[in-house]
């Protein structure tokens, strides 16, 4: 741990982090930090866990919010599969906790599920979503990608 920054060993990442991997650094905030997290995973320094529905979320964002061709969308999603992340399927216990978190923080179930999954896996949730991090500021296991010490 370095000041307020750290490199956790196990993280759950949300779609906001994955999207940064396909962005240009000059055009958007936190791209550099997100790409360093990915590099740390590839070097075996960090274990990354994702829920199975991230593939649908990521594909949907690429389809409707990014100007890409069908082939580019497919290649982007395929690259996410090819990373070899630990993929977790939904289960009743985590769904129940995500419903509780959703009501408590007034956030969508999908966002709450990332938090619940991180708690279940004894990991940190890493997000690049400023608004989500602000809402969840009292959750000690939720980090903004900019909080990571990625030297």
The residues, any chain, with a CB within 8 Å of residue 99's CB and separated by 6 or more, are 109, 112
Tell me the pTM: 0.90
110 within a domain of the structure (yes/no): no
Give the residue from 104, 85, 74 showing the smallest Cα distance to 14. 85
* Domain membership flag for residue 21: yes
Over the stretch 21-47, which tens digit does the pLDDT of each residue have? 987 666 688 999 999 999 999 999 999
Domain contains 77: yes
Contact 52, 87 (CB under 8 A): yes
Average pLDDT for runs of 10 along the chain of length 151: 66 96 78 93 97 97 89 94 97 98 98 98 97 96 87 45
Residue 6: predicted pLDDT:
67
Q: Which structural domain, as residue segments, surrounds residue 74?
A: 10-88+123-147
């Amino acid at each position: 741990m370095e000041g307020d920054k750290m490199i956790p060993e196990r993280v759950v990442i949300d779609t906001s982090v994955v999207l940064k991997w396909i962005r240009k650094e000059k055009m958007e905030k936190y791209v550099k930090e997100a790409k360093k997290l990915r590099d740390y995973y590839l070097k075996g320094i960090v274990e990354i866990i994702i829920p199975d529905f991230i593939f649908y979320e990521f594909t949907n964002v690429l389809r409707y919010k990014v100007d890409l061709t069908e082939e580019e969308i497919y290649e982007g999603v395929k690259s996410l599969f090819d990373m070899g992340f630990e993929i977790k399927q939904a289960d009743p216990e985590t769904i129940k906790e995500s419903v509780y978190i959703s009501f408590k923080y007034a956030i969508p179930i999908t966002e709450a599920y990332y938090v619940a999954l991180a708690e279940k896996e004894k990991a940190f949730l890493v997000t690049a979503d400023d608004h989500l991090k602000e809402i969840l500021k009292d959750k000690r296991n939720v980090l903004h990608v900019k909080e990571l010490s990625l030297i």
